[in-house]
């Protein structure tokens, strides 16, 4: 199944649509880019497979989905340091390289779908930690991810499975 993301005319926002649903989404603060680079704040344009789901078990029940699901722990992180061999992968904290903490106080990563961006294999500097996750209050831009309202993310997760892909369009059709 294809899940399609279309940017809107408003900065860092768009819509996401799948066969039985549609929702508003937040995008990267720099919009959508066909030339994604680490730290540029852009959501990458392209065909991004849905890899697997993380959830925070103290705040969420295991989500209903056909994707592989794993609970995160306080020591989980994601390496965004292009100089490290672990670049763009799950790491355990403390970690000597630059990384994101997955166990966040703000709830944005209570549900995360890891998207297949720059991971087969990871090329240093081409972007990391591209996720589908919970949107911030006020639909604040992401650092390059796609974010949905919690209820919409739960609804989407129930509809997806292995082999499904997020198609991020560069421009509004």
Model confidence at 1, in pLDDT bands (50, 70, 90)?
very high
Domains assigned to the chain? 2-168 (2.40.440.10)
Specify the 3-state DSSP secondary structure of 110: coil
Residue 63 tokens read as 């989500």
- Buried (b) or exposed (e) across 82-114, using 16+ Cβ within 10 A? bebebbbbebeeebeebbbebbeeebbbbbbbb
% of the chain residues with pLDDT over 70: 99
Could you report the per-residue pLDDT of 88-142, keeping only the tens digit for each? 999 999 999 999 999 999 999 999 999 999 999 999 999 999 999 999 999 999 9
Could you tell me the end-to-end alpha-carbon distance of the chain, in angstroms, rounded to an integer? 19
Asked if residue 172 has pLDDT above 80, the reply is: no
Task: Tell me 171's DSSP state.
Answer: S
Task: Tell me 136's DSSP state.
Answer: P
Could you report the per-residue pLDDT of 7-60, keeping only the tens digit for each? 999 889 999 999 999 999 999 999 999 999 999 999 999 999 999 999 999 999
Nearest by Cα to 40 from 137, 136, 125: 125
pTM to 2 decimals? 0.97
Q: What is the pLDDT of residue 173?
A: 64
Could you report the per-residue pLDDT of 145-167, keeping only the tens digit for each? 999 999 999 999 999 999 999 99
Indicate the length of the chain as a whole number.
Answer: 173
């Amino acid at each position: 199944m294809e899940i399609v993301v279309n940017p809107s005319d408003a900065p860092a926002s768009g819509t996401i649509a799948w066969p039985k649903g549609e929702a508003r989404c937040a995008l990267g603060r720099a919009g959508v880019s066909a030339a994604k680079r680490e730290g540029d704040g852009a959501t990458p344009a392209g065909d991004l497979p849905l890899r697997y789901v993380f959830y925070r078990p103290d705040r969420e029940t295991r989500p209903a989905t056909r994707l592989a699901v794993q609970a995160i722990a306080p020591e989980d992180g994601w390496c965004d340091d292009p100089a490290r061999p672990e670049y763009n992968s799950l790491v355990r904290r403390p970690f000597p390289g630059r990384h994101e903490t997955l166990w966040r106080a703000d709830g944005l990563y209570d549900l995360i779908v890891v998207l297949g961006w720059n991971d087969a294999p990871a090329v240093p500097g081409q972007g990391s930690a591209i996720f589908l996750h919970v949107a911030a209050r006020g639909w604040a831009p992401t650092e390059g991810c796609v974010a949905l309202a919690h209820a919409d993310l739960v609804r989407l997760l129930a509809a997806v499975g292995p082999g499904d892909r997020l198609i991020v369009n560069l421009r509004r059709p």
